[in-house]
Amino acid sequence: MPIESHISSDPLDRTPGPPPAEAATALGAPEPEAGAAAPVWLQRLSLFVLVLFCVYLGVLVMILPWWTRVWDHNLFIQSHPALAAVLHTGAVRGLISGLGLLDIWIGVSEAVHYRDHRP
């Protein structure tokens, strides 16, 4: 029985020949370009989802600290008195609402500065 000397990083890989990526190009299969852009409809759909997510999350983060039924009567915050003392101050609530406004700004800015990348 002949012994083959096969050096590979995968001990179960016993196939001789080029690696699969090189085999695909050797068979004439088209290789995707490194800078190929996605179709325009997919770019626009991803922009829509990003803007929707940013605006939704921004509005939620902006309004949540001032919604007393959720913010003040939260079991997690009530179980940590030191954290509750900090989170109930107006400055911290304003800071968190400012982060929500920043998130809305990012979503609107992405929508305004959008450009199609044609393939």
Q: What is the pLDDT of residues 1-38, one digit of tens each?
A: 556 555 555 555 555 655 555 555 555 555 556 667 88
Q: What is the pLDDT of residue 9?
A: 58
Does residue 107 lie within any of the structural domains? yes
Q: How confident is the model at residue 111 (pLDDT cuts 50, 70, 90)?
A: very high
**What is the sign, positive or negative, of the torsion defined by CA atoms of 19, 21, 25, 27?**
positive
Is the residue at 67 inside a domain?
Answer: yes
Domain residues for the domain of 46 are 36-112
Neighbour tally for 114: CB within 10 Å: 13
**Is the pLDDT score of 114 beyond 80?**
yes
Q: What pLDDT does 103 receive? A: 97
In a domain, 5, yes or no: no
Residue 4 forms part of a structural domain: no
Run of H or E including 98: helix 90-112
Contact (CB, 8 A) for 61 and 103: yes
Q: How many domains does the chain have?
A: 1
Judge whether residue 68 has pLDDT over 80. Answer: yes
The answer to whether residue 87 sits within a structural domain is yes
Count of alpha carbons within 13 angstroms of residue 17, beta-carbon side:
8
